[in-house]
Structures are given as structure tokens and as C-alpha cells.
Amino acid sequence: MLDHLVYAAPDLAAAQAAFAAATGLTPAPGGRHLGRGTRNLLVGLGPTAYLEIIGPDDEHPADPGAAVPFGVDALTAPRLVTWAARPDDIAAAAAASAAAGADLGPVAPMSRRTADGDLLEWRLAAPHPPPFDGVTPFLIDWGATAHPAASGLPAAALRGLRATHPDPEAVGAVLGALGLRLDVAAGPPGLAALLGTPRGPVVLA
């Protein structure tokens, strides 16, 4: 199932202000990815899904040689860069994704502190750069950690998610191997999410 959408921005404060102006929702502080050079903000999309708005952490830059998540350091404008799926068995799902043409690499442990200092730990299969330009999902397993969407986030409704890619059949094969459904049309690589918000429908792309 869908776990979260990733909206990446070159300026996190500006992205937060623009999102709040468009939706009437102020994203909640998430946490810092120390050593990776990013921090994030969160908006709930239901009890088990959320929107991650991620950008540079100017106070804590990436360690030398570290890959900055989702290519945030190379962005010139905000965009919906990819999405995460949460399978029942992340190792089996990663193998299925690789067999279908989207190799996500090894499953690795990750962690961060919340704004309140609580430790979140999860496992992740998310290579950089992502296969299929991020149109196919990376994988996450929260294990015993409480899901971020359950922490009282400001909430929007995910009304729809669609994608375009030059090879929609190949994308469809990966999605099918993961047991996921997504409307994928031929076109340049991209994702678009329709959100229901206090100020009406908003499209993130």
C-alpha cells in the first residue's frame, strides 16, 4: 500500500509557505536526516499515509561524499519526485521489484529524531538515482515504530495519484509485481497528486 508521497524542494521554508497558502494547512515539523543534509515537514493523508515535504537542512549539511536524498541538492523548483510503498515483506517486495526491472538495491536500516526528540527507526530500499525516474515506488518498513501518520498531523485527503512515463508498460510491470495500482500514461516522467484541502482541491506535481 502507499505509505507516503515525497515532494522535494530547494527551499523548505518557501515550500512550507506556498503549501500553507494553497491549502490552508501548515505542514508539521518532521525531523532532520543527519549526515544526509535534509530535513522534512509532514502532512497526513489518512491514518496510514502522509505527504513528506523535504528540502535542504542548511544548518546540518550532508557529510562529504554522502548522497543527498531525492536529489534535493540539484533541484531548481519544488516537485513531486517519488512515492513510497509499504509491503508486508520488504525483502520479498524488493526482490520482486528487481525481477520486474526496478532494482532498489539492498534494504538498509535508517533512523531520525522527531521534532520532539523521539527516535524513529525504519528499513528502506531506495536507491539514488531511482529507477524509472521515481515513478515506480521505493519501499519502506516501519517495523515496531509508530507510523508518522498516527502522530496528529495536519490532514489533507488524497483524492488521486497518477503518473506519466515514456514506457508505461514497463512501469506497469513493476507495479504489478508489487501488487500496486496506479494510472500511468505515456509522456515525460512525472507524478501528480490531487489533494482535498480546506481551501479546495490542490494538485501537487
pLDDT digits (tens, 9 = 90+) for 37-60: 999 999 999 999 999 999 999 899
- Beta strand 183-186 with 157-165 is parallel
The predicted pLDDT at position 117 comes to 80
Query: Which three cell numbers mark 138?
Result: 521505493
The predicted pLDDT at position 112 comes to 80
Domain extents in the chain:
2-154
- Give every residue of the chain whose pLDDT is below 70, as ranges: none
Indicate the CATH number for domain 2-154: 3.10.180.10
The predicted pLDDT at position 169 comes to 98
The predicted pLDDT at position 110 comes to 86
The predicted pLDDT at position 65 comes to 85
The 3-state secondary structure of the chain reads CEEEEEEECCCHHHHHHHHHHHHCCCCEEEEEECCCCEEEEEEECCCCCEEEEEEECCCCCCCCCCCCHHHHHHCCCCEEEEEEECCCCHHHHHHHHHHCCCCCCCCEEEEEEECCCCEEEEEEECCCCCHHHHCCCEEEECCCCCCHHHCCCCECEEEEEEEEECCHHHHHHHHHHCCCCCEEEECCCEEEEEEEECCEEEEEC
